[in-house]
Each structure stands twice: as C-alpha cells, then as structure tokens.
Amino acid sequence: MNLRRRVPDTWRRAWRELLAYARRTVEDGLVVGTSGNLSVRVPGAVLVTPSGVPYDLLGPRDLLAVDLEGNRITGPRPPTSELPMHLAVYRATDAAHAIVHTHAVHATAVSTLVDELPVIHYMTAALGGPVRVAPYARYGSDTLADHALAALRDRSGCLLRNHGTLVHGRDLRQAYDNTAQLEWMCRLWLAASSVPGQHPSLLSPGDLADVASHLRDYGKG
C-alpha cells in the first residue's frame, strides 16, 4: 500500500517536530531501538511514527497520517503497532493533542512492583495526581488500550505493567517533558526505597492539591 497525496504545510511542520522528539527519546535513553512511538493530532488527522523503523532513518517522505478510526490517509509505511492505544486516547480525551509512549527502564521497573507510583515528588501533580499502573496486556491489543484508558482517568500519564509509559499533553513539548519527569520520579523512588531499613517520605493529597493550584500559573507572565 503506497498512499500519496498533497499534504498541508501544517502537517509537514508537525511531522518535523514529531521526528525531532522521537529522536530525543533515543538520545535521552527513554527507548532502545524502535521500542517507543509518538503521535500528534493535527487538523483532520493524527500523525504517528511508523512500525519498526529507526527514527534516524525517517524523513519528510515518511510522513504518516491516519484518521481517528485508524484508516491511513497518507504515508508509505504501516503505522506503529500501538496505534489502537494512541487513537483510543484521542477519541476519549479532547485535551490530548500529542502522545509519547516509551519503554523507559526505571518506569518499566516500577510498573512491575506497584499498582501506583508512590507520591515521591510534587511533580506528580503535573500528571493530574498519583500515577496508576495499567494491568498487563499484549502490545498493540485493544485490551491494552482499554487498560491504559482506565489508568489515565483524570490523569495525563500512566505506567503500563511490564511495558513502559504513556503520557499525553497539549503539545509534543508537554507530553515529552512529562514523560521525562515520570521516568525521573520512578528513578527517584527506586533509589530512595532501596536504602535498607529506610522508607521514603511521601506527599499527601493535600500537598498535591496545593502544588496543582500553583502549577496552573507556572510559566505564565
């Protein structure tokens, strides 16, 4: 299947940005090889990374667009196998305009240990509250998409058991930054909880609510 069509300039700009962030996931150690995937919502479509292709080999001609039902609009390559999970989030959450999915090592390790990441740091509030762990299901399955949606209820990020992370945001920058924060918080909790005979202090719901009220104005003005 080789779909070619004239694509809007807005799609081309969004594709360049998508590839830049995809390459950062490798450079920053959030994925290995082709293990992660990203997408961004544009007018009339969703741009998504293709399946099984190293990000440094992708270019303008590989622009891949699908509709919200997963039908390919344009692009020479098949989409990521995790497309059902991406589209489920977009269909369910108007606030989601970009998604980053990684196999970050510390986050994946935490996903095997707990049902919810302990509230070790106030940046938990940036993700909407304590980060849940979605039950395991095979990659690319509708079951995994359903589990992820449940874990994302009132949240913008979750862990996928024995798998990795899923974070959405208002744009790629926010989705990526919060993905990096989530991996850092998982690393922090693993480090603190590994000290023999000690237990990390955790933040309360009141602490998080206080931080959330301040984060609404963070970076403005």
Active site residues: 82
Question: Which residues face 168 on adjacent strands?
Answer: 99
- The vertex-85 CA angle with 81 and 88, nearest 5°, equals 135
- The vertex-189 CA angle with 37 and 192, nearest 5°, equals 150
| 8 Å CB contact between 189 and 110 | yes
As a whole number of angstroms, the distance between CA 132 and CA 124 comes to: 11
CA 67 to chain centre: 19
Contacts of 210 (CB under 8 A, 6+ apart): none
